[in-house]
Amino acid sequence: AVGGYQNVWNFGTRSGAVIISNFDGATYTGSATQSGNTVGFTGNFSSSATGRTGALNGNFYGAGTPPAGQAGSFTATGTNYQAGGTFKAQK
């Protein structure tokens, strides 16, 4: 399945608002945070319509401030449901 990925990031608070839209028929919302001065971040998301939950691990990439994009992996689970994959996004 494919879907949309958006992570509206605030570099001041080192946090982001995650929206994964239309992935396997569901839309997920959640948040991500960055710990310390790393390029990596982690997050959690859920879909109230399906009861599914998930987690993501990502990194910023590219030269410049802010970085050119994000990429990483995710998993999602629910009753009789498992999914996993990768994401990539550019500003």
Q: Which pTM value belongs to this model?
A: 0.90
Question: In the Cβ-directed half-sphere of 73, how many Cα atoms lie within 13 Å?
Answer: 4
**Is the pLDDT score of 32 beyond 90?**
yes
Query: What is the model's pLDDT at position 64?
Result: 84
How many whole angstroms separate alpha carbon 59 and alpha carbon 87?
Answer: 10
Parallel, antiparallel, or unpaired: how do β-strands 53-61 and 69-78 relate? Answer: antiparallel
CB of 5 closer than 8 Å to CB of 13: no
Query: pLDDT band for position 66 (50/70/90)?
Result: confident
How many whole angstroms separate alpha carbon 43 and alpha carbon 58?
Answer: 9
How many whole angstroms separate alpha carbon 36 and alpha carbon 91?
Answer: 22
Query: What is the model's pLDDT at position 37?
Result: 80
